[in-house]
Structure 1
Amino acid sequence: MMISDEEKQKIKAEIVDKINSVLEKNGESFRMDRVNVLNRSDSVKFMGNYRVYDRKNYNAVSSEINTFLKQYGDVDIKSKKIRDSGMKFTTVSFSFEL
């Protein structure tokens, strides 16, 4: 069963809203603007990423977001610490297929 475009838009909006509300609640400045969708012949893959600047917030932020994302099933989550021109942050990418 393929997901309708309406359902895809709803899922994308849910993810962006939830991730941004968790980031905001934890005083993070980064906001996620979109989730990418890859339409495959037998499934739809959702992919996105966000940043956490304050390392002290990372566990709380990622724990809440990961719990939320897992409602969509098996989620692949990768995080990487980045140091970019003096700024330090952790970038988190996720993807799952429906």
Structure 2
Amino acid sequence: MISDEEKAKIKEEIVAKINSVLEKNNESFRLDQVNVLNKADSVKFMGNYRVYDRKNYHAVSGEINTFLKQYGNVEIKSKKIRDSGMKFTAVSFNFEL
């Protein structure tokens, strides 16, 4: 089982990396936190972010997905959203350790 210190470190790494990729690509969204679900035999990390400029989506998601895959098998889902005239792609991810 992963210690609380290790969980906190992984959460900080994920938030910092995703926000740096979003900032580098001039995206306005920033990830605040990664959620953790403690299971009997594993720990599940979950989060989501948005990409507003669809031209940036492939560059942003490619770099973030490569980073997240260092933690093992990552489930990543994306969906194009149009909300009150705003268009963005919502991306959710989760993995277990």
TM-score band, normalised by shorter chain: over 0.9
Q: CA deviation at 1:28?
A: 0.2
Report how far residue 50 of structure 1 moved.
Answer: 0.1
1:68 is aligned to 2:67 = yes
Q: Quick one: which amino acid aligns to residue 7 of structure 1?
A: E
Distance in 2 between residues matched to 1:64 and 1:78, nearest whole Å: 15
The equivalent residue for 1:53 is: 52
SS of equivalent to 1:28: coil
The unaligned stretches of length 5 or more in structure 1 are: none
The one-letter amino acid paired with 1:16 is V
- Provide the rounded CA distance (Å) in 2 between the counterparts of 1:10 and 1:87: 34
Q: What is the aligned-residue RMSD (CA, Å)? A: 0.2
Matched, 1:37 2:31: no
> Matches of 2:9 and 2:81 in 1, distance apart?
31
**1:97 aligned residue:** 96
Q: Which residue of 2 aligns with 1:84?
A: 83
| Distance in 1 of aligned mates of 2:30 and 2:54 | 16
- Percent identity over paired residues: 86
Q: Distance in 2 between matches of 1:5 and 1:82?
A: 35
Which residue number in structure 2 is paired with residue 19 of structure 1?
18
Shift of 1:57: 0.2
The runs of 5 or more residues in structure 2 that have no matched partner are none
TM-score of the two chains, using structure 1 as the length reference: 0.99
Q: Distance in 2 between matches of 1:43 and 1:83?
A: 36
The residue identity in structure 2 corresponding to 1:6 is E
Q: Which amino acid aligns with 2:38?
A: N
Tell me by how many angstroms 1:41 deviates.
0.1
Normalising by structure 2, report the TM-score. Answer: 1.00
